[in-house]
Amino acid sequence: MAPSELARLHAIVQGIVQGVNFRYYTSRRAAELGLAGWVRNRPDGTVEVVAEGPKPALDALLRWLYTGPPSADVEHVSAEWQAATGEFTDFRIRYS
């Protein structure tokens, strides 16, 4: 895939998104979509996601973030689109 066809999604998810396996399900969904990047809990109670890959796959991940796993209650998702850097080789859960 040409670098011009790749993008980066940076999203912050607000609501009841910690303690409900949000990171696990996000990493699983991102891997299913063939995306690379990471997800982590933030000290303010939100979840942060950085993912790179084809724009259609990123769009699918973003749509999923608005719902999340069954036990989550997503109130708001802020998303920012950036140029892909190619720095990631897989999708991981970050713990810091």
| Model pLDDT for residues 34-44, shown as the tens digit of each residue | 999 999 999 99
Residue 61 has pLDDT above 80, yes or no: yes
Residue 19 has pLDDT above 80, yes or no: yes
CATH number of 3-82: 3.30.70.100
What are the beta bridge partners of residue 74? 15
What are the two backbone dihedrals, phi and then psi, of residue 42, each rounded to the nearest 5 degrees? Answer: -110, 155
| Model pLDDT for residues 43-57, shown as the tens digit of each residue | 999 999 999 999 999
Q: Where are the domains of the chain?
A: 3-82
Interval 11-40 mean pLDDT: 98
Model-wide pTM > 0.85: yes
Give the list of residues 6+ apart from residue 96 with CB closer than 8 angstroms, or none. 40
Answer whether 8's CB lies under 8 Å from 50's CB. yes
Residues with a known catalytic role? 23, 41
